[in-house]
Chain A
Amino acid sequence: SQQGEEDPQALSIQEGENATMNCSYKTSINNLQWYRQNSGRGLVHLILIRSNEREKHSGRLRVTLDTSKKSSSLLITASRAADTASYFCATRFTRQLTFGSGTQLTVLP
């Protein structure tokens, strides 16, 4: 069953702008991961943040985690047209990942 909700459901920005997506979840977690999916393709892992971490960076990506609010955000800086994709957060508690509803990001050239 779906663990989390993401907002916004869709986001459209100009190239060079920053994009922020939010994820809320319901239960305790071991870690939270973000994945990207280009249209109709497989998912690509972007970044993992553990439950005892608050912020993590990877290239143009910045992820925050607030376990007290059960929420996370993904910031993509200086977006590019190639960043156009669906972005999913996924939480891991026991043996499986549960995906959020996803944000469709469109970066306009």
Chain B
Amino acid sequence: DTEVTQTPKHLVMGMTNKKSLKCEQHMGHRAMYWYKQKAKKPPELMFVYSYEKLSINESVPSRFSPECPNSSLLNLHLHALQPEDSALYLCASSLLPAGQETQYFGPGTRLLVL
């Protein structure tokens, strides 16, 4: 299995809703990442998990809450989002956190906040 899966593919939520994005990989990778990508822009790093521990938080607002229950799963909990948070949310994984490896990306969750 050489892919990263993300669910749901699309999500529409109101500003008072609570929702979660899910990411899964079964490649034995020990680093997992959340990126946010706005239209026609490059991905921007949000969080990095290394060996199931949060190692990088790029000053992301607390309305985004990541969780890594085990080495294969990564969640992003969303609460009280703003319309400007609408974007494509990409999950990625790599074999090791600080190595020279490439990152494998999931297809993304397209989020619309109304």
Contacts and interface: CB of A to CB of B under 8 A. Distances in A.
A50 B101 CA distance: 11
A43 B48 contact: no
A18 B88 CA distance: 30
Interface of B: 4, 6, 33, 40-45, 48, 50, 55-56, 88, 90, 92, 97-98, 100, 102-108, 110
Given A95-B56, A96-B45, A101-B42, A41 B107 contact: yes
Contacts of B106: 42
21 contacts: A33-B102, A41-B108, A42-B105, A42-B106, A42-B108, A43-B43, A43-B92, A43-B103, A45-B102, A88-B42, A95-B50, A95-B98, A96-B33, A96-B48, A97-B45, A97-B103, A98-B45, A99-B44, A101-B41, A102-B41, A102-B42
Q: Which of A42, A43, A101, A102 has the most CB of B within 10 A?
A: A42
Given A43-B90, A44-B105, A102-B42, A95 B110 contact: no
Interface residues of A, number: 25
B100 A45 contact: no
Main secondary structure of the interface of A (DSSP, over half): strand
Nearest to A31: B100
Contacts of A104: 40
Contacts of B41: 101-102
Contacts of A40: 88, 108, 110
Contacts of A44: 105
A30 interface: yes
B108 to A, nearest CB: 5
Contact of B43 (A30, A33, A94, A99): A99
A36 to B, nearest CB: 10
Contacts of B108: 40-42
